[in-house]
Amino acid sequence: MRRYLPFVIVGAVALLALGSGAMLYRSKRPSDLTTTKNQRSPGIDKTDSVHILGPPDAPVTLEEFGDFQCPPCGKLSDPINQIERDYNPRLRLIFFHFPLINHQYAREAAYASEAAGLQGRFWEMHDLLYREQSIWTKAVDVHSLFNSYAGILGLNTDRFKKDMESDQVKARVASDQKRGVELGVQNTPTIFINNQALPPASLNPDGLRAAIDAALKGKPSPK
């Protein structure tokens, strides 16, 4: 038992640090917002709810179709969060699920974020899944990790487990993906600025800022 003690201590310290960071982050992160149909932009379909950060009357809307197991999506997650903060209140951010079939756990991760969303913690789980992407994507038992993330975020884990398997959550993810297919989305991340798809070359922090600045000035997005 002695020789395993250092590993147990390290694991406990790491979990405590992650939990503390999540709690601190939770206190600073705005809660998940939903809008009624009348508040949506013309580019948003008639789903029951959409995940939004930023005011409904912001002049620029950034819509992202993302996959939690997609490395480029994970790489863009923090920069997009920073962009949302920097441009507030002139920008609103909307996230849509588009789990790719070649990513083993992407759909389950989407369900986990939606289950968290039913308890008002979609964005916290969204950020945690991207932050921990290199860990859960290699897990043998991904559900146990997702359950631990729910606990870290202070969710009711029994409800979280049931919601992950619910028809409501599965339909929500399927609705997002259907919308993406209708818009011609094939890869992730796919990002629209005011209903105009950005070219792959613009899918970086500088490119996103340039597209948002152009939209604020009433100019076409870069092609």
Residue 1, both tokens? 């038992």
What is the model's pTM? 0.80
Q: Where are the domains of the chain?
A: 31-216
Coil, strand, or helix at residue 34?
coil
Name the architecture of domain 31-216: 3-Layer(aba) Sandwich (3.40)
Beta strands in the chain (DSSP E): 51-53, 60-66, 91-97, 190-193, 196-197
Q: What are phi and psi of 62, to 5 degrees?
A: -105, 115
Encode the chain (223 residues) as per-residue pLDDT tens digits.
Answer: 444 444 333 344 344 445 544 444 443 444 344 332 333 333 444 445 789 999 999 999 999 999 999 999 999 999 999 999 999 999 999 999 999 999 999 999 999 999 999 999 999 999 999 999 999 999 999 999 999 999 999 999 999 999 999 999 999 999 999 999 999 999 999 999 999 999 999 999 999 999 999 999 986 555 5
Residue 56, both tokens? 């409904």
- Assess contact for 202 and 222: CB atoms under 8 A: yes
